[in-house]
Amino acid sequence: MRRSILFIFILLLIISGCATQQDLNALKSQVDMLQSRLSIAETKMAENSKLTDQSLKQQGELQNRYSELQNQIFTLQGSIDQVSASAGLTPSGGGESKISKLEKDVQALKDQLQNKASVSAATQKSLYDSGFEKFKAGLFSDAVQDFKGFLTQNPDPALAGNAYFYMGESLYAMAKYDDAILSYDTVVKKFKDSDKVPDALYKQGLSFMKMGDNETGTLILQQLIKEHPKTDAAKKAKKALKNPPA
């Protein structure tokens, strides 16, 4: 290609009869410039061709992916249609009787549960209040029964810790120290955030001492002083360690 261009220009000059060496050199320079531009153009054409091939490949991959997604949509739509049919729905959106019935049944159950929860909460609070009033009145045995009834009804955790504590207090007042220890221990282990924990530890320690187990009682009172040093229960525990109850 380059030789053809050069030959044509030289031939034209020769034919015109005015070709000189200077003209030939100038012509050769122009031809070299044209050849350089032609080379650059050929390189760009090759690059564009390569990019076109890549673009076609990507386009083919996208087309395949589109087809796959379309198939998945058709499959999902078929599943939806099957579920709708089994639920009593028609493709046009009618026949919603089964769905409506299910929604009504669910709402009815929800209302029943809410009503039962309200009644249960009122009953629980009533038992707790009754137990507490009987405890203050010195009716310890009756208080224990009310607190037990309250605790068997999946009570509000905010009151459950107190119920165990006052049940322990009632049992302690009746000198049933072994049972009282269990109630106090429940407060300590299951209701660690309760403000009754220090008092429960204190009365638990005293209960062991009342039963003649001063060693265990001492350890519990020491635990109280260590873990809750600024409480009134800790102050009473220090006094109890100096003068253990008989």
DSSP assignment of 185-239: HHHHHH-TT-TTHHHHHHHHHHHHHHTT-HHHHHHHHHHHHHHSTTSHHHHHHHH
Higher per-residue confidence, 244 vs 73 = 244
d(CA 177, CA 195): 22
d(CA 128, CA 147): 6
Confidence band for 95, pLDDT divided at 50, 70 and 90: very low
Each residue of 55-82: pLDDT tens digit? 566 666 766 776 676 676 667 666 666 6
Taking residue 242's Cβ as centre, other Cβ atoms within 10 Å add up to 6
Contact 198, 188 (CB under 8 A): no
Domain range list for the chain: 1-15+24-49, 99-242
Confidence band for 224, pLDDT divided at 50, 70 and 90: very high
Q: Has domain 99-242 been given CATH number 3.40.640.10? A: no
* pTM as predicted: 0.52
Least confident of 49-58, 126-135, 230-239: 49-58
Query: Which residue from 175, 146, 170, 171 is spatially nearest to 159, judged by alpha carbons?
Result: 146
Q: What is the dihedral of CA 184, 178, 136, 142, to 10 degrees?
A: 120
Residue percentage of the chain with pLDDT more than 70: 52
**Average pLDDT over the chain, rounded to whole?**
77
Higher per-residue confidence, 178 vs 63 = 178
